[in-house]
Structure 1
Amino acid sequence: MSAEDTIVSDETFLAEVQRLRAQDFELKDASNLLEGHTSIIMHASVFHGLYKRPSEAIRYVVVHDVPDTLSGNILRLRASLPWSPPPQDSLLSLDKLGAIRDDETQIRGYEIRGNDISEISGLSAIPLGLFIEDDDSEEENTADVVAKLSPADVAKLPLIVYDERIHFAKFPRLSSEIVNLLQAKEHKLLNVVDLLGRTDDGRIVFPKLNNHHKLSANTIGVLALKRIFLQLAEALIQLHSIGIIHRDLLPRNILGSSDHQTAYLCDLEVDLGSWECPEIAAALAVQREDLSLVPYSEASDVYMFGRLMTDFILSNATRTRWQGMDGGNWLPPAPFRSVVLDCVKAAPSARLTMCQVKDRLEAIPVPVTK
């Protein structure tokens, strides 16, 4: 009998949730991975970090994910970097990196792979360029987003008299969000936030809903979580059926009804999304300019759906992407644990499909309420 076939009482489930949350806080407190860091980059299987210690050279550290070794445990917060925690003051300003490139005395590099620790010789071997952000990303002028829509799409956006008691309004960042929301509305997709129309100043208007914090706080027990996850799974299946990959399945993009019984997906920009998925992290490590080269797919949405379930159940977030993998601590208790593990497989082909996720969730038995 699998864990999914076993009825887990709400009392047992909630006690395990609290245990996992407490364990996570203990690991975060004990780890020095992020203490004193100036900048970090997390790729598919590699962590890059810059650290500054007073009166010492800047330290660059690269840690490779080799499970069940020192480096893998460091990334899962089960071991620390092999130096005393650097203080939080005297951090490196990234605008000084150009000068550092020409002075090897100012920076020392270390590589941790498996159980081996080695010093990186030569400044040219340290990829300082990773840490210099190129802020050339282009966003549409929010005042022009609605104006750039086709006449047919504009006609689908009636003018709304905004009432803050029943509405939420925002300036859209990208026209793709409006186009996708209109497509979802045209197909009558359930559990996708409803785009009501626009205001005369160019904002788009939605029904007023609760944020994910309120929804999560009021979704208690196996039955309630199963209901919410099935709603979100169905919404994602329907989005995929009309060719929309969400890309950014995070708790902040989940909204809830006032009675906390219904969940809705929002944020359909389909722009640069979550990077925790392995193939997405690998692609973004190479380039971020052309998003058509980043392999967002139904499989990457499945991966992030697994992460979404975990974050929603445990009501927090990880410090590293490796915490949420097999061997990490950031996984929910039964009966949802095995579903999540089959969502977050490293290979896209090894993951469940969203239809399989829905079937697995439907099969979870729930405690009988008295």
Structure 2
Amino acid sequence: MTRTTPDVFMDEVHRLRAAYQAQRNATNLVPPAGRPVLDQDVNIVDGIAHHTYWYEEMDGKGHVQVIRLADLPNTLSGAILRLRCNLPVLDTNTDYEIIGNDIRPLLSPPPLPDFFDDSEDTSIALASLPEIEVDHHAKHFLKKAKYVSEIQNLLACQGGSCPGTPKSNHVIQLLGKSPNGELVFEKFRPRYVLVAVHPLSVYRRWILQLVEGLRCLHAEGVVHRDLRIDNLVFSPDGSRLLICDLEGHWGNRLAPEVSREPILDAGWTEKSDIFDLGVTIKGMIYGNTPITNLVEWHVPAPLDGIVAACTSTQPKDRPTLETLYSMVESIQV
């Protein structure tokens, strides 16, 4: 691939971040320019994605305003979702929807979603794990075991035992359980290392490690489902990236073939993981997650072609992990 000098690449990342931040600060869809959002959701109506927002009113009376926006490109509602246009200023006591350029009252506003804890009984799976003397401050990170699948996925990536032998240095290792039954991991740096702008050589190394970690998961029959920058951690010196949160339960619904319906059998596959990998590369470049998945986040060359390949609409057109590794490895830095 074409060589891109570090200064040109980093300058372009700074420019792209600044352009997005200007959009982010200007939109009244969300704070800081907009009102606090209590929750948001996406559902499909007649084949069109509708984004619903529940807004907290500031009058102290507890009223919640519901606004629904249809994802129709080149219309008012589509422009709002892409941060190209603001919500119209209307009566905040009225629930409404914008379908294309048509603004109308929302006659049957959906209630604010309730949180549903669907945690499983993981006691049998936890019983097989060794108990660890936990160092909360410096050495260990604890997480509640919500699903049996997470323990199974972690063990599969370390030879079937705990602590076992990791099959990849880029997948988090399960060390055991705490006296209170939490999962115990080595403490790593969270994804906020991505806030800084890094040279192309650093992103290249991280993406190669991300591909290698995902290759390990897929070799063990594990589809991550929820690959994003929030589920990446880094070694203290930032040289090593690891994939975490292997719940294999709920996850992203960004790949077009994955159903938007709130079901576990939504169509996640290895190919949808590759789509999510492309979106994750965008998040690494911007050091953030977008306000909506319709924000147009461009990435600089030579990563733009890699992102485009990963996020091809048709799963069959997305590269294999082996091809993707070769594409990234060929980047000259």
Question: Where on the TM-score scale, by shorter chain, does this alignment land: which range?
Answer: 0.7 to 0.9
Residue 185 of structure 2 corresponds to residue 198 of structure 1: no
Question: CA distance change for structure 1 residues 61 and 160 in 2, over 3 Å: closer, same or farther?
Answer: closer
What is the deviation of 1:108? 4.9
Describe the SS at the equivalent of 1:206: strand
- Choose which of 93, 99, 102 in structure 2 pairs with 1:117: 102
Residue 220 of structure 2 corresponds to residue 242 of structure 1: yes
Residue 192 of structure 2 corresponds to residue 207 of structure 1: no
Q: Is the contact between residue 195 and residue 204 of structure 1 (CA under 8 Å) also seen in structure 2?
A: yes
Describe the SS at the equivalent of 2:204: helix
1:293-332 correspondence to structure 2 within 5 Å: 293-323=265-295, 328=296, 330-332=297-299
What is the deviation of 1:14? 1.0
5+ long unaligned stretches in structure 2: 161-165
- Choose which of 82, 90, 102 in structure 2 pairs with 1:76: 82
Residue 163 of structure 2 corresponds to residue 185 of structure 1: no
What is the deviation of 1:27? 0.8
Aligned to 1:169: 142
5+ long unaligned stretches in structure 1: 92-105
Describe the SS at the equivalent of 2:158: helix
Q: Is the contact between residue 231 and residue 263 of structure 1 (CA under 8 Å) also seen in structure 2?
A: yes
- Choose which of 198, 215, 233 in structure 1 pairs with 2:211: 233
Q: Is the contact between residue 10 and residue 197 of structure 2 (CA under 8 Å) also seen in structure 1?
A: no
CA RMSD of aligned residues (A): 2.9
Q: Is the contact between residue 283 and residue 295 of structure 1 (CA under 8 Å) also seen in structure 2?
A: no
Aligned to 2:163: none
- For 2:175 and 2:215, how far apart are their aligned partners in 1? 22
- For 2:65 and 2:155, how far apart are their aligned partners in 1? 49
What is the deviation of 1:331? 2.6
Aligned to 1:33: 29
The code of the aligned residue for 1:117 comes to D
Describe the SS at the equivalent of 2:53: strand
What is the deviation of 1:236? 0.6
The code of the aligned residue for 1:213 comes to Y
Q: Is the contact between residue 58 and residue 107 of structure 1 (CA under 8 Å) also seen in structure 2?
A: no
Describe the SS at the equivalent of 1:283: coil
Question: CA distance change for structure 1 residues 260 and 12 in 2, over 3 Å: closer, same or farther?
Answer: same
Aligned to 1:103: none
- Between structure 1 and structure 2, the one with the greater Rg is 1
Aligned to 1:22: 18
Q: Is the contact between residue 14 and residue 197 of structure 2 (CA under 8 Å) also seen in structure 1?
A: no
1:338-353 correspondence to structure 2 within 5 Å: 338-353=305-320
Q: Is the contact between residue 189 and residue 235 of structure 1 (CA under 8 Å) also seen in structure 2?
A: no
Corresponding pairs, count: 315
Q: TM-score, normalised by structure 2?
A: 0.83
The code of the aligned residue for 1:46 comes to H
Question: CA distance change for structure 1 residues 241 and 72 in 2, over 3 Å: closer, same or farther?
Answer: same
Residue 259 of structure 2 corresponds to residue 272 of structure 1: no
What is the deviation of 1:30? 2.3
- For 1:265 and 1:352, how far apart are their aligned partners in 2? 20
- Choose which of 335, 343, 346 in structure 1 pairs with 2:302: 335
What is the deviation of 1:77? 0.4
The code of the aligned residue for 2:306 comes to V
What is the deviation of 1:322? 0.3
- Give per-residue Cα distances to partners, 1:160-214, cap 9 Å, x unaligned: 3333433333332222211111110017421111112233332332223222213
What is the deviation of 1:66? 3.0
Q: Is the contact between residue 191 and residue 229 of structure 2 (CA under 8 Å) also seen in structure 1?
A: yes
The code of the aligned residue for 1:67 comes to P
1:32-181 correspondence to structure 2 within 5 Å: 32-34=28-30, 35-36=34-35, 39-43=39-43, 45-50=49-54, 60-83=66-89, 107-113=94-100, 116-119=101-104, 123=107, 126=108, 128-129=109-110, 131-140=111-120, 145=122, 147-149=123-125, 154=128, 157-164=129-136, 165-181=138-154
Question: CA distance change for structure 1 residues 159 and 29 in 2, over 3 Å: closer, same or farther?
Answer: closer
Q: Is the contact between residue 13 and residue 197 of structure 2 (CA under 8 Å) also seen in structure 1?
A: no
- For 1:254 and 1:172, how far apart are their aligned partners in 2? 18
Describe the SS at the equivalent of 2:17: helix
Describe the SS at the equivalent of 1:149: helix
What is the deviation of 1:217? 5.3
Describe the SS at the equivalent of 2:189: coil
Question: CA distance change for structure 1 residues 365 and 200 in 2, over 3 Å: closer, same or farther?
Answer: same
- For 2:52 and 2:184, how far apart are their aligned partners in 1? 41
The code of the aligned residue for 1:10 comes to P
